[in-house]
Amino acid sequence: MTADEITQYLNELNDELRRSNVTGEVSLYGGAVMCLAYKARPATKDVDAIFEPIREIRNAANRIAERHGLNVGWLNLAVKMFLVEHDKSVLFDLSHLRVFIPDPRYLLAMKILAARADTSDLDDIRFLIEHLDVKTSEQAVAIAQNYYPNKTVKPETVFVLEEILSK
């Protein structure tokens, strides 16, 4: 999904909620934020989010999926188990839908902990490090540990951070 497609689907989600006289909130994470907010990559495979009210938004998202031939999980809650307290800002404030994105430091922390080599995580980390003007791997690890103090950054991820920051 491109940024334009995600924007279209979120607008359609707003329309669906308006028809049902429901107001909702969606907080975006992962690739959707990298596409929409930072224009750091052209597309993402799905939209990782948390949202309320869950049932109404899920039903509306399913209607949008059916209408556009999307995977039913195009808007999913898979990220929910990884979330901790963090700051968010409003990306879109529509009539029946507010869309939030996390602080970029939080997004970097999530990406550092995930750091999957077979995904866009490493490119996202590279972008966020540059965006936040992080200068050392120690700074990057400290950001991750600020949000996730009980998690350990994998040694291979520290190596990747050192590689990114040595250039």
| Crossing angle between the packed helical segments 104-114 and 155-165, to the nearest 10 degrees | 130
Contacts of 67 (CB under 8 A, 6+ apart): 12
pLDDT at position 144 over 80: yes
Residue 13: per-residue pLDDT: 98
For 17-47, what is each residue's pLDDT tens digit? 999 999 999 999 999 999 999 999 999 999 9
pLDDT digits (tens, 9 = 90+) for 87-123: 999 999 999 999 999 999 999 999 999 987 777 889 9
What residue segments make up the domains of the chain, in order of their start? 3-102, 105-165
Q: What is the mean pLDDT of residues 65-69?
A: 97
**Mean model confidence pLDDT for the chain:** 95
